[in-house]
Structure 1
């Protein structure tokens, strides 16, 4: 999968960071390369001497370790895991000046993939230690930051139902399969205001908000999204039932979501969503429960991220 996002090379870089104390916050159940032992050896081999090391069994345990690393003066934080782990860590690091380096060890590594960070341990470590530092945007939904996307309705139900093993084997097709088999995608009265004005008011089955182009399931949904634009892509689907969703998911899975008659997309800095009934919502592939109201906004330059020295091949 080629990266769908390019960070503007002319956008202001974050202040230079001298790597001193390096922290590793790792989801111990995830794997990349030779595993965590290999990571430690690679960092030591690269000359890292002052290292803080934290392992967690679940991504929701990571914020406490991030805060501990910051309290102990970490100058750089390596995050080992997938998008859920990255989201939890990004939410805690947001607003700080400490850079985050991503080690894409999860089932879904969409934020890393969008930024051109490979699933290659030595190269990902090199990017963390010597790559560009850029201040990138995050989204914020109901008080919690996200890096890739957020969704509610059909998308939230789909995330809740998708089997982890199936996602690992089939990637984006797992979401199509799960959606068509288990999720009904019922239409619900939905009102969306964007930057203070009503943008959508009608029956809808799904609302998506993207910070980058390729979203959960590896589906390229927002062609024009950029994580340094200061805005978010906002989409709504009016697909109802298996036939409509089969057509919609098929177009999204092949990168043509804008061609679906059941999809509308716009861009904005702030949005409010009100549903006629509680809907499951998710952040970066992690279900969060149900809500009738969603408040979302872009948080410009919220997070310093370590990026490759050059733009990923195939990017626009």
Structure 2
């Protein structure tokens, strides 16, 4: 008798401020109908990575579905980076940047079908201060916005919008930053410095038009000032951003140093204020399910 394969769902019950029971129930029904065994782990915010690792070691899942925001994906990716296990996404965070970049549909059954199919991309991963980053990390105004959002009570994109204006008004930006990249150290000033594996923020803003998530490189983006015109161009998918607005450096390793502590976020999770950020390509890639028509 052939042993059934197990599909694990790791789900963050509070991501995006929405009820996750419909996702859990549909996941169980869907994978069972496809003749798999369904296993669910709900994160608690305490000891999750060890618990997930222990569970993965015990059940040896065929693949792992992840439901939450980019921070939840990053946590699971950290656990799986030494394992040959494919992942699939059921995005349910406030801003789902990685899903936005992978062109995942919004309908749950479509996401489940993609996750159980055999179309995958070998996604680059970046080490940022010892943590895995699959999407975008940055210091500056965006990280400060995420901090303010996490401290507020209103979830979703509307919550981000409510925090945008007070963040800009109270910001300490621009700031000075020293970058050591491609064997050269340079001094820059900006409002945001991003380490980008992907093209878009979860809002849809295309901040890194030339980036590819599987080319073994990442981009360092130095946003120099507030330009409403250029910011709007990112939302309309422009591939021609003014170099006076953003400077782009392609690399595999970078060190950022600031004279004062600056807010840092990695994959949508605020991690505190730092004066030094080190990022480098991780040789490990992670296979993530993508739509059949996704263009690499």
| Shorter-normalised TM range | 0.7 to 0.9
Aligned 1:1-316 pairs, distance under 5 A: 20-30=5-15, 31=19, 34-49=22-37, 51-58=38-45, 61-72=47-58, 73-162=60-149, 168-170=156-158, 173=161, 176-181=164-169, 183-198=170-185, 200-239=186-225, 244=226, 246=228, 249-256=231-238, 258-259=241-242, 261-311=244-294
Question: Could you tell me how far apart the structure 2 residues matched to 1:187 and 1:180 are?
Answer: 11
* 1:67, distance to aligned residue in structure 2 (A): 0.5
Q: Which structure 2 residue ranges, 5 or more long, are not aligned?
A: none
* 1:117, distance to aligned residue in structure 2 (A): 2.0
* 1:172, distance to aligned residue in structure 2 (A): 7.3
* 1:104, distance to aligned residue in structure 2 (A): 1.1
Q: For each residue in 1:278-310, what CA deviation from the matched residue of structure 2 results, as whole angstroms up to 9, or x when unmatched? A: 111001111001111110012245212122222
Aligned 8 A contact 1:25 1:55 in 2: yes
* 1:65, distance to aligned residue in structure 2 (A): 3.4
Question: Could you tell me how far apart the structure 2 residues matched to 1:310 and 1:247 are?
Answer: 32
Residues 268, 96 of structure 1: alpha-carbon distance in 2 compared, 3 angstrom cutoff: same
Question: Could you tell me how far apart the structure 2 residues matched to 1:175 and 1:233 are?
Answer: 27
* 1:32, distance to aligned residue in structure 2 (A): 6.5
* Bigger mean CA deviation after superposition, 270-279 or 296-305: 296-305
| Structure 1 residue matching 2:22: 3-state secondary structure | coil
Question: Could you tell me how far apart the structure 2 residues matched to 1:308 and 1:245 are?
Answer: 34
| Cα RMSD after superposing both structures | 2.7
Q: TM-score, structure 2 length as denominator? A: 0.86
* 1:247, distance to aligned residue in structure 2 (A): 5.5
Aligned length: 288
Question: Could you tell me how far apart the structure 2 residues matched to 1:139 and 1:283 are?
Answer: 10
Question: Could you tell me how far apart the structure 2 residues matched to 1:132 and 1:201 are?
Answer: 43
| Structure 2 residue matching 1:259: 3-state secondary structure | coil
Q: For each residue in 1:157-211, what CA deviation from the matched residue of structure 2 results, as whole angstroms up to 9, or x when unmatched? A: 1211136666624487557545434x4242322111212222x313333211111
| Structure 2 residue matching 1:38: 3-state secondary structure | helix
Q: For each residue in 1:93-129, what CA deviation from the matched residue of structure 2 results, as whole angstroms up to 9, or x when unmatched? A: 1232011111112222221121122222211111111
Q: TM-score, structure 1 length as denominator? A: 0.81
* 1:48, distance to aligned residue in structure 2 (A): 1.2
* 1:25, distance to aligned residue in structure 2 (A): 1.0
Q: Which structure 1 residue ranges, 5 or more long, are not aligned?
A: 1-17
Aligned 8 A contact 2:176 2:189 in 1: yes
Aligned 8 A contact 2:218 2:251 in 1: yes
Aligned 8 A contact 2:123 2:134 in 1: no
